[in-house]
Structure 1
Amino acid sequence: MRAIWKGAIAFGLVNVPVKVYGATEDHDISLHQVHNADAGRIRYQRRCEVCSQIVDYSDIDKAFEEDGRTVVLAKEELKAIPAENSHEIEVVQFVPSDQLDPMTFEKSYFLEPDSTSPKAYVLLRRTLEDTDLVAVVQFALREKTRLGVLRVRGNVLVLQALLWSDEVREVDFPALADTVRVSAQEREMSAALVESMAADFEPSDFTDDYQIQLRQLIEAKLDKGEALDTDETFGVTDNEASTGEVIDLMEALKKSLDRKRAASGRTPPAKTTAKQRPGKKAATDSSGALG
């Protein structure tokens, strides 16, 4: 890995020099565009609409337009913004991790100690472990001032970039009005389905099927060329997924639960009511969506 940035965590009067690395990578197969008539590569050119010349990246500036007025901002002017020149990851407060909305999570970065003595780095990491808190930080990276948190992953500090509060949209869908009614029986059946599918999450148990099948298609195409038969390559599948609205919710829940029980080799228990089940309280009618 190559460090993308160097700076220091400002933890009160403690300074923790660090190197920043991208923590994630894209595993998607890279495809490019070609002309379907002759397989010629499609190239895009940066052409000026005023002089029609093709422009190099080095000759491109940025601009802002408002009310018919345009302001051109040169690279040197953008680099002069004070926040852009900051190489400090400033700790501003410590909060419980459950107060963070996952909707705001952005890219993650690994932080490596950039000092002959990593003691301050280890101290901060152990402090986060001992207090079971995450550190809210502010920093600048790639022409943007960012909000983030420091958390621990194994023995490494991770910088998790966050969206600003005004970058998450507010929504109010009319279909989710308080008039929606969900019966106790529907809630009970839904809970039983959830229970039948509950397990500890292991990310390695899941695979990117599209990328696997794309690789399969590429290899079959290399082997058979234009004579490729996609039905032969992938097999004909029976897709039972419905794209329409579920009319009978109880029937759909029952079929789903029966299918899960059959797959796990479990036999359906004798039919009982919620009141007859030990340790279970009867669900009451409630308004709102399933969830």
Structure 2
Amino acid sequence: MRAIWKGAVSFGLVNVPVRLFSATENHDVQFRQVHEKDGGRIRYKRVCAIDGEEVPYSDIAKGYEAADGQMVVLSDEDMRSLPSRSTKEISIEKFVPSEQIDPLLFDKSYYLEPDKTGLKPYVLLRDALEKADRMALVTVSVRSRMTLAVLRVRDGVIVLQTLLWADEVRAPEFESLSEETHATAKELAMASSLVDSLSGDYVPDEFEDDYSEAVEALVASKIEGGEITATPEAEGEETEVVDLLAALQRSVDKAKAAKAGPAATAGATDDASSDDAATGAKKSTAKKSAAKKSTTGTTKTAAKKTAAKKSTSGTVTKKAATKKAS
């Protein structure tokens, strides 16, 4: 496992250095949305609801929708002004009886592992929690936002379990469940008998996720039977590559044109000017500069070598662009 947070448990005057690890992982079956005809993945674009234009990540801000539907856009500066805590401390506020914490409040679970230097105080806190049969109510800031949590012991390891805030638990308001409705004595006796007949201990390994196993078996059988859809390369991705090549080519042409200005041709000789005039209609602006630098009577190969030397930056740029496009 990989630690996602490092800090310390503040236990009176004692600090216990610890590392935080996720205690659970999701094994739920994950499906992809694909085009039934060819198996291509369905992609979603970030499109503005007002102008219909696709919006890049750099132009996306956080917005808060008020109760009346009005949207308030919050800048990065606004977000920095909000209260946050970046301390690396799990501060124990009080020790509460375990039965006072409704399991409905439990959110995410993490294991706490002590550093080598904090092993003894870690064991002290663990044993004290087990002996008192209480949970330590703590405040902690894992991702800049402070939250409530509890420390409890499971299989000899201290577990940090974050809690929902009180207003995040909905009140069960069901008119059909009135206080006057109760089971009769006979019905209750029969139900109690059924409970007794089904009583037992909870053994996690007795239960399996048969749905996930069935999906894996189904997929394996289709692969063995050759029922696999060969997904071609998306056309949109090819268009992006072509557009990138075009943009790079324009950049190269622009760089060549800039180097063909007066500053680049100030050192050209008068004899080379006549050669430049003869070939100007057929060659690019960058090659004009190279022709001006060549002497009368040189071969076509020598002129090309001179052009390569005088347009080094443009050539390097073009090669780099070609490699990136590949």
TM-score normalised by length of structure 1 = 0.70
C-alpha contact 1:128 1:134 (8 A) present in aligned 2: yes
1:3 positional shift: 1.1
Aligned to 1:159, the other structure's residue is in SS state strand
The CA distance in 1 between the partners of 2:80 and 2:5, in whole Å, is 15
Query: For residues 97 and 19 of structure 1, what CA distance do their matches in structure 2 show?
Result: 24
The separation in 2 between residues aligned to 1:95 and 1:113, in whole angstroms, is 23
CA shift digits 1:94-152 (9 cap, x unpaired): 01211110111111001111353422212111111221211001112235321110011
Provide the residue aligned with 1:71 in structure 2: 73
Residue 32 of structure 2 aligns to a residue in which SS? Answer: coil
The residue that corresponds to 1:44 in the other structure is: 44
Deviation, structure 1 residue 157? 1.0
Partners in 1 of 2:29 and 2:103 — Cα distance? Answer: 27
Q: Which residue of 1 aligns with 2:152?
A: 151
Q: Distance in 2 between matches of 1:186 and 1:122?
A: 50
> Which residue is 1:213 aligned to?
214
- In structure 2, what is the Cα distance between the partners aligned to 1:163 and 1:223? 46
Q: Give 1:225 deviation, angstroms.
A: 5.8
Q: 1:124-163 counterparts in 2 under 5 A?
A: 124-163=125-164
Pair 1:59–1:9, CA change in 2 (3 A): farther
In structure 1, how many angstroms separate the alpha carbons of the residues matched to 2:156 and 2:34? 46
Q: Specify the alignment match of 2:172 in structure 1.
A: 171
Q: Deviation at 1:172?
A: 2.5
Q: Distance in 1 between matches of 2:80 and 2:3?
A: 20
* 1:199 alignment partner in structure 2: 200
Unpaired runs of 5+ in structure 2? 228-326
Letter of the structure 1 residue corresponding to residue 191 of structure 2: S
- Give the distance between the partners of 1:62 and 1:7, measured in 2 at CA: 30
Q: Are 1:34 and 1:40, in contact at CA under 8 Å, matched by a contact in 2?
A: yes
Which structure 1 residue ranges, 4+ long, deviate > 4 Å from structure 2? Answer: 48-51, 79-82
- What's the C-alpha RMSD, in Å, of the aligned pairs? 2.4
Contact 1:47/1:55, CA 8 A, preserved across alignment? no
Q: Amino acid of the residue matched to residue 217 of structure 1?
A: L
- CA shift, 1:11, in A, is 1.5
Provide the C-alpha distance between the structure 1 equivalents of 2:52 and 2:110, rounded to a whole number of angstroms.
42
C-alpha separation in 2, matches of 1:10 and 1:204: 36
**Contact 2:17-2:118 at 8 Å conserved across structures:** no
Distance 1:152 1:179, change over 3 A: closer
Q: Corresponding residue for 1:270?
A: none
Contact (CA 8 Å) 2:61, 2:73: kept in 1 or not?
no
Say whether the 8 Å CA contact 1:79–1:85 is kept in structure 2: no
State how many pairs are aligned. Answer: 225
1:101 aligns with 2:102: yes
Amino acid at match of 1:148: A
The code of the aligned residue for 2:201 comes to D
* Residue segments in structure 1 that go unaligned for 5+ positions in a row: 227-291
- Native 8 Å contact 2:16 2:118 kept in 1: no
**175-184 vs 1-10, which moves further:** 175-184
State the partner residue of 2:183: 182
Separation (CA, whole Å) in 2 of partners of 1:79 and 1:10:
27
Flag the 1:17–1:222 CA change in 2: closer, same or farther, 3 A.
same
Report SS of the residue matched to 2:176: helix
Matched, 1:30 2:19: no
* Percent of aligned positions that are identical: 47
2:86·2:144 contact (CA, 8 Å) conserved in 1?
Answer: no
Report the counterpart of residue 17 of structure 1 in structure 2: 17
Instruction: Please tell me the residue identity of whatever aligns with 1:39.
Output: G
Where 2:18 maps in the other structure, the secondary structure is strand
- Give 2:300's aligned residue: none
Alpha-carbon shift at residue 210 of structure 1 (Å): 1.4
**Separation of aligned partners in 1, 2:78 and 2:119:** 36
- The corresponding residue for 1:266 is none
CA distance in 2, matches of 1:122, 1:81: 37
Call closer, same or farther: CA 1:179–1:116 in 2, change over 3 Å. closer
Displacement of 1:47 in angstroms is 3.7
- Please tell me the residue identity of whatever aligns with 1:17: P
The CA distance in 2 between the partners of 1:143 and 1:210, in whole Å, is 38
The structure in which a higher percent of residues are helix is 2
Distance 1:94 1:186, change over 3 A: same
Q: Structure 1 residue 223: deviation in Å?
A: 3.2
Q: Conserved in 1, the CA contact under 8 Å of 2:95 and 2:137?
A: yes
